[in-house]
Amino acid sequence: MKPWMVYLFALLLVGCASGGAKDERALKSAKIHTELAASYFERGQYSIALQELGVAMQADDEYAPAYNVRGLVRMKLREDAQADKDFRRALKLDPGSASVLNNYGWFLCQRGHPKESIARFLEALKDPLYNTPDMAYANAGVCSIKAGDLVAAESYLERALILHPGMQEAQIGLAELNFTKGDYAMAKVHLMRFMQVYEELTPEQLWLAVRIERKVGDRNAAASYALQLRKRFPDSREAQLLQAGE
């Protein structure tokens, strides 16, 4: 499956209020090249995405969505200091942008600051025009698990499902939540619901699947997920955990 962040592209290119009146041609150019960059990012062509973003910023260096997308690209490239700077710049240019808040929150969560990330998701949800609040709730749920707040996590994930019944991102979150709570049978139920749509899992999701199947006693399924993890992501932290026998 595609990385979690890719599901946020519906939020990336929503118009923002850059400071002051801008030349229409420059603004149009920045928007077009940012959209191209987002498309290249989605296809994994990160160097081309960065080139397009450079063109966008030359046209309009105050176009917040360009910094938002570049933050995602740099996050993917593990250029964390630069990614953090880009997200902060985007928020300075467009403080109320739900998409930037959501993306920056996910960045913080993935880089070991889950408690700090929750505030970003909740701030994004204050925007009455936010078109995918289910994603912010799902992200808040997953990051609340990382923060150790299982009660809040369950509440956020349930809100995501109310807004978007069957939402796959919420399903994998509930799989992790139930595994953490020790309800392994229900964890597998949510894992299977998730995989009805997404069969190719990330390293983190494969590692979760291995552990769930081990707990419910399905050795064949556990071995299958473990093999996928070793073959597809041999250098991942999760593959190292598997190798260590954790």
pLDDT digits (tens, 9 = 90+) for 200-226: 899 999 999 999 999 999 999 999 999
DSSP-H helix ranges across 148-183: 150-163, 168-181
The pTM score is 0.85
Domains annotated on the chain, with CATH:
1-95 (1.25.40.10), 97-194 (1.25.40.10), 201-246 (no CATH)
Q: Maximum Cα–Cα distance for the chain, whole Å?
A: 63
pLDDT digits (tens, 9 = 90+) for 56-93: 999 999 999 999 999 999 999 999 999 999 999 999 99
The Cα–Cα gap between 209 and 176 comes to: 9
Token pair 């969505």 is found at 65
Q: Is residue 151 exposed (0-12), middle (13-18) or buried (19+ Cβ within 10 Å)?
A: exposed
